[in-house]
Structure 1
Amino acid sequence: MSTFETFSSHFKGDIVTPKDPNYEQALDRWAHNARRNAAVVAFVKDAEDVSLAIKYAREAGLRIAIRGGGHSPQGSSSSEGGLVIDLSRYLKDVRVDPDKKLIYVQGGAVWKSVDVEAIKYGLAGVGGTVNHTGVGGLSVGGGYGWLSGAHGLVIDNTVQVTVVVADGNILTATETENPDLFWGVRGGGSNFGVVTEFVFKLHPQRAQVFAGAIAFTPDKCEQVGAFLDDWWPRAKAEEGLVVAMTRGPDGRPGIMAFVFYNGSEEDGRKAYKGLFDIGPVMDHCGNVPYEQVNGITNPLADWGRNYYFKGVLLSKKPSDDVNPKVFDEVIKAVSSSPDHMAATVLEYFPHNKINSLPADSAPYRRDLTGNTLIIVQWQDDTPEKSRKAKEIVYAVADVLPKGEGYGNYTPESDAPFTAGAVTAEKTRALFREHYPRLQGIKKKYDPDMVFNQWYTIIPA
């Protein structure tokens, strides 16, 4: 039987408990309201440390959470009274093999590190659109980014993972080695273990791209929707737009568009001529070093605030989402509280490449239209402010399409899991026809549901 003393004597990293002076710092998360008072935070140094932490937590009866970038607003990377396996302090190295066009990324790294290291070799990989997001959580949940139009999802560019599974074994998974685990991890989330290293494909990438933010006044809403209707069906692989309906810091409602074109400013302005011709009140677009692109939406996601969000699906016709009626309803909802900032963020990444893969290539839907994220942030959390944030999110969701959205945008997956709970139905809805196969993999690698913080799969 492993006691805390024997666990700590063999553990190479740092163990933090409530009696330590840096305990509060160890609980820090992107979303302040995602902090939970863990009994133990284990800052692991390697896969062997992860194995020790899993074994100790299981014997001690502690619920396990995995912390990579700490970007989950619903608390998936935190555990009240449990044990957090934290990869962010020591397992954050990134290494490029330029000859093979591969990048080796440890599970606690953030996307900025990936972008900065890869571009040194004229290469890039698909990564998140907020560059302080952790690599791990985004990757196992699917992974959309500005390069998805050209190269697909993060899971489509994953060639190998190192996973510490529920019994403490350290496994390498590829298409040929533990292929069932490799299939499950690429879209099945954190259901199967702790990924300590990812190996991703890289692609040739120009050093400068055309990108930035432009803003429109509310009276331009119909014209922006019409532009999207024209552009979206023929969007090219090198293009991408993120459109946000929101109130600015001054309280004024408006439409922000974050523009990406993997080419020159001249060609980018031609590609989006119809959008620029509408007459933005702000134009901050221009040539940008590639490694900065995944930071252009960071202002929507400052570290340390309180967050609540929910994902829904894009309508097939953009103007069904971006029109004066929906805009007015969105602004009405987000203006209902002076204490909250909110945005409805519509992600227009071309899906031809994503949806061209076989349906069974990974446990991820290949028929999605795209994603909308409804996000609310506030300071100084109270139960009343938290309830109001949820009210705002669901008021906006009521005027947008329904359907189980992108799993990484789920609002509430931290409720303690019980078989037959509502989360079981949400999990089935997310994975659809892949669910039975995932249940078999769960039974093999985690029959006791040790990993249960995100769309928990019930073993077959």
Structure 2
Amino acid sequence: MSIHPPTSFQGDWVTEIDSDYSTSIARWAANAVRPAKAVAFVKNARDVALVLSYAQEKKLPIAIRGGGNSAAGASSTDGGIVIDLSRHLHSVTVDPAMKLAYVGGGAVWETVDKTAIEHGLATVGGTVNHMGVGGLLLGGGQGYLTGQHGLVLDNLVQATVVTANGEILTASDTENPDLFWGIRGAGSNFGVVTEFVLKLHPQRRTVFGGLVVYHANSLESLMTTLTKWYKNGLQEREALFHGFTQCPDGKPMNILILFWNGSAEEGREHFKEFFDIGPLRDFCQELPYEKMNSLRNGGRAHQKNYYTKGVFTSGPLSDCAQQMMDYVTELSQQLEISLTFMFEYLPTKKVLSVPNGETCHIRGDRVSCVAFATWDADKTPKGDLNSTLTKLVDILATSEKTLPFASNTGYANYIMEDPAYQPSSGSRVGANILFARNYPRLQELKRKYDPNRVFTKWCPINV
């Protein structure tokens, strides 16, 4: 089949005969690379509409690439066309008077953070700043400012969406509100977003945060302190991530990533009980706000292999913590990978202040956790990652007494299953389980905006 750019296409059209083909299909995760027939670097919404029409005419699957950070390969396609927003639609413009950011569909969080903070403003963004805005936002999105400003999608004011039939629509509370409801949580199921308009909030220029490392034998003290801290209620200006991982010599260790939206003096006093445990290393400091969102970049470098598996808990689970830490160490050695299991403690009061039906994203008073595996691009894990990491997260899911096991999907952006997978009865994966009571309404929207299921690369909704 001859593949060529559609008539009037203004962007860049790359196929396997072009010198930049390999870089055009490269992704953050090496295991997410797929051999596309063509990559369309679109310049505007009209280009997107042309490519969608062309792909459907040729019966070719499409994928949408914003930041390209889906380890599951949602931004790649084997034998189809990639609509790539990253080359020409990546700019961010701030209106400081209105406290709004106009964000291109291919922008990354670093650009948002750096542009907004120049005006003393910020919005809820990713804690790894080379990640794309679109994927995080459309799947829910949470970050260090979630306690003060909610989910990333709660800060979306308006979006420009190109639907499967080529319509270029504005989605907001007042224009196409049904579409606006659907894109806030259901990912790319209804179209290609070429621009986001985000609310900005006043933000101090420096914050307190960083990495704290503890010996494995500090686990009991850590869990006692974590449990007390969590039961006292999280304050809106804080965040804490707790992880089980390995030292360079392969031995287990605990890590904390701390955040306090204030000075170092305030932050150290606030987290005093954690510092009093006696960490091996303390890298916390007062630093520029935009740098805080880059501290985790090192463990998420481009062109390595990645795999994630998510689960929810209702809080710290001391009874299974030792078992979890031991199993993380065992699996890292058995599979010959680097493995971290992270508990992401964020204040939920602001998130839960939005009624559960206002967006399609399902909210709950819960802690998102993730098993995060990485290994070199030229290597292969010594076993089945899906089954072994499922056993790992199930230790938590079965120990959890509050959240039902059958619906414990974990955070949507951590789902790694093949997008074409149709969940069986009782499975904890799939759009019908993920969106629960909102799923029938999402099916109605799918029939309206994408009846032929052009968009199926992330938690696909059946019609």
Q: Same fold (TM over 0.5)?
A: yes
User: Does residue 1:390 correspond to 2:386, yes or no?
Assistant: yes
The secondary structure found in structure 1 opposite 2:334 is coil
1:416-431 → structure 2 map (5 Å cutoff): 416=420, 426-431=430-435
User: Does residue 1:37 correspond to 2:55, yes or no?
Assistant: no
What's the Cα RMSD here? Answer: 2.0
Q: How far is the alpha carbon of 1:425 from its aligned partner? A: 6.5
Report if aligned partners of 2:186, 2:360 keep a CA contact under 8 Å in 1. Answer: yes
1:99-114 → structure 2 map (5 Å cutoff): 99-114=97-112
User: Does residue 1:172 correspond to 2:170, yes or no?
Assistant: yes
1:331-410 → structure 2 map (5 Å cutoff): 331-337=329-335, 339-381=336-378, 385=381, 387-401=383-397, 402=405, 403-410=408-415
Report if aligned partners of 1:419, 1:458 keep a CA contact under 8 Å in 2. Answer: no
Q: How far is the alpha carbon of 1:199 from its aligned partner? A: 0.5
Partner of 1:280: 279
Q: How far is the alpha carbon of 1:317 from its aligned partner? A: 3.5
Inter-partner Cα distance in structure 1 for 2:324 and 2:296: 22
Report if aligned partners of 2:334, 2:382 keep a CA contact under 8 Å in 1. Answer: no
User: Does residue 1:181 correspond to 2:185, yes or no?
Assistant: no
Q: Can you list the C-alpha shifts for 1:230-287, whole angstroms capped at 9, x where unaligned?
A: 1123210000011111013332310111110000111101110110000000000010
Inter-partner Cα distance in structure 1 for 2:424 and 2:245: 38
Inter-partner Cα distance in structure 2 for 1:386 and 1:89: 37
Inter-partner Cα distance in structure 1 for 2:319 and 2:282: 25
Q: How far is the alpha carbon of 1:109 from its aligned partner? A: 0.4
Q: Which amino acid in structure 2 is aligned with residue 410 of structure 1? A: I
Q: How far is the alpha carbon of 1:316 from its aligned partner? A: 2.9
Report if aligned partners of 1:313, 1:368 keep a CA contact under 8 Å in 2. Answer: no
Count of paired positions: 453
Partner of 1:246: 245
Q: How far is the alpha carbon of 1:135 from its aligned partner? A: 0.3
Q: Can you list the C-alpha shifts for 1:84-110, whole angstroms capped at 9, x where unaligned?
A: 000011110000000011101001000
Inter-partner Cα distance in structure 2 for 1:326 and 1:345: 11
1:54-65 → structure 2 map (5 Å cutoff): 54-65=52-63
Q: How far is the alpha carbon of 1:65 from its aligned partner? A: 0.3
- Cα gap change, 1:189/1:422 in structure 2, threshold over 3 Å: closer, same or farther? farther
Inter-partner Cα distance in structure 2 for 1:312 and 1:424: 10
Partner of 1:121: 119
Partner of 2:96: 98
Q: Can you list the C-alpha shifts for 1:415-439, whole angstroms capped at 9, x where unaligned?
A: x366989999721110000001111
Instruction: Give the fraction of aligned pairs with identical amino acids, expressed as a percent.
Output: 46
Inter-partner Cα distance in structure 1 for 2:248 and 2:11: 42
Q: Which moves more between the two structures, 394-403 or 198-207?
A: 394-403
The correspondence for 2:83, drawn from 82, 85, 107, is 85
Report if aligned partners of 1:8, 1:15 keep a CA contact under 8 Å in 2. Answer: no
Q: Which amino acid in structure 2 is aligned with residue 187 of structure 1? A: G
Q: Can you list the C-alpha shifts for 1:62-119, whole angstroms capped at 9, x where unaligned?
A: 1010000010011000000011000011110000000011101001000010000000
Partner of 1:313: 312
Inter-partner Cα distance in structure 1 for 2:412 and 2:255: 24
Partner of 1:413: 418
Report if aligned partners of 2:241, 2:257 keep a CA contact under 8 Å in 1. Answer: yes
Q: Can you list the C-alpha shifts for 1:331-359, whole angstroms capped at 9, x where unaligned?
A: 2222223x311100110011111112111
Inter-partner Cα distance in structure 1 for 2:16 and 2:40: 12
Q: Can you list the C-alpha shifts for 1:177-196, whole angstroms capped at 9, x where unaligned?
A: 00000000000111000000
1:209-228 → structure 2 map (5 Å cutoff): 209-228=207-226
- Cα gap change, 1:92/1:368 in structure 2, threshold over 3 Å: closer, same or farther? same
Report if aligned partners of 1:68, 1:109 keep a CA contact under 8 Å in 2. Answer: yes
Report if aligned partners of 2:243, 2:340 keep a CA contact under 8 Å in 1. Answer: yes
Q: Can you list the C-alpha shifts for 1:122-146, whole angstroms capped at 9, x where unaligned?
A: 0000001111110001100000100
Inter-partner Cα distance in structure 2 for 1:43 and 1:320: 51
Partner of 1:264: 263
Q: Which amino acid in structure 1 is aligned with residue 33 of structure 2? A: R
Partner of 2:153: 155
